[in-house]
Structure 1
């Protein structure tokens, strides 16, 4: 679940800009004892740099992002 939240925070979406890594880490750490099990948050805090590395390697390019926008525009503009 932390991986999903981290990805949602640091990934650019058509409806929002991406959040910087350290800001996303702070958001997750602030959810310790609330949304996340403390032991899991402690483990995340130890390896959060690995999350950053993976997110950076697999981030959408501008071309990928443009394809998503084009697809959504086409889906919205289709005549019924």
Structure 2
């Protein structure tokens, strides 16, 4: 199991989800995409849950480290 970290805070909001999906697609089964974001990525969680069959929603977690720093883990089945 390995993890890939993607800090999206400097990416324009309209480009974030496509970049995240590309990074998630490149993972192997059992790997995890760690996203650093400036807000809690609930909309992304729901999008992934609805659209990405290999997303392990039960293994998802998010931690708020600061007012503008959220670290979310998106595991791949």
**TM above 0.5:** no
**TM-score, normalised via structure 2 length:** 0.36
**TM-score, normalised via structure 1 length:** 0.35
Query: Between Structure 1 and Structure 2, which shows a larger proportion of helix residues?
Result: 1
Query: Between Structure 1 and Structure 2, which shows a larger proportion of strand residues?
Result: 2
Greater Rg over alpha carbons, structure:
1
